[in-house]
Amino acid sequence: MNQGSIPRPTLARLRWFEEGRPPLTLAVVDGESDHLAAELQSALSTQTDGLLVRNCAGLAGLERVETALRVAEARLGLAEGATRLIASMADTARAVLALQKPVIASPRLIGLTWDRSSLRASLGCSDPSPLLDQARLQLLFAAAAAGVPAFEWSVSDDPKSDEDTRALGFAGVSIG
C-alpha cells in the first residue's frame, strides 16, 4: 500500500480539567489497523501535540504501537520517544479484560481514555449499563496503576457533564 492511499488522520482534542493547562490536538490512529505503520507516518506528518490511539488493547496493543511508532519517528527524523500518546484502552470487551493486567507506562504515554459508545457496541448492551460503568472504573484503576491520568471520551464538549467525570477522578475529556 502506498502512502497516498492512507487518508489524513482525524483529529481529537484533549481538554484538561486543571486550570491553566492548554488543550492538546491529537491525531487519531487505530492501534489494530493492518496499516498501522503508514497511519502513524501520516499522523506524524500532521501538526499535532501527539496521538490518540484507538483500539489499544492492553500491554500487547501498547507495545505494538510503540514498536511501529519508533520506526515511524526514525523515518521522519524525529527523536525516539518525542511523540506523546493517549491510549484508548477500553473500546472492546477484549480490551477491558486486558486491563486486568498492569499497563506499564512508557515515557511517551501521557494518559488513558476509553470510548463508551464503541464498548457498548462491542458488548451489544444498552446504555446505561453496569457493564459500561464497570469498564469506566477499570480504566481509572489501570491509569492510576500506570501512573498516568485518565480521560473520559466524548463526542461533544459538554461542560455540564464535567463535574461527574471530574468527581470520579478523570483528569479531563478527549473529544472527537
| Bridge partner residues of 50 (DSSP) | 26
Spatial CB neighbours of 54, under 8 Å, sequence gap ≥ 6 = 28, 29, 30, 31, 88, 91, 115, 118
For residue 51, give the C-alpha cell: 496521538
Per residue in 28-53, pLDDT (tens digit) is 999 999 999 999 999 999 999 999 99
- The Cα 22–Cα 37 span in angstroms is 29
Return the pLDDT at 1.
44
Cβ count within 10 A of residue 4: 8
Cα of 150 vs its chain's centroid, Å: 10
The whole-number pLDDT of residue 106 equals: 79
Peptide bond before 102: cis, by omega within 30 degrees of 0?
no
Write out pLDDT tens, residues 60-73: 888 899 999 999 99
Question: Residues near 64 by Cβ (< 8 Å), separated by ≥ 6?
Answer: 31, 36
Residue 5 has, within 13 A of its CA and on its CB side, a CA count of 5
pLDDT of residue 8: 77
User: Mean pLDDT across the chain, nearest whole number?
Assistant: 89
In this prediction, residue 136 carries a pLDDT of 94
pLDDT at 51: 96
Architecture of domain 3-175: Alpha-Beta Barrel (3.20)
The confidence band for 171, taking pLDDT boundaries of 50, 70 and 90, is very high
The Cα–Cα gap between 131 and 124 comes to: 11
Phi and psi (nearest 5°) for 37? -60, -45
Distance CA 108, CA 146 (A): 12
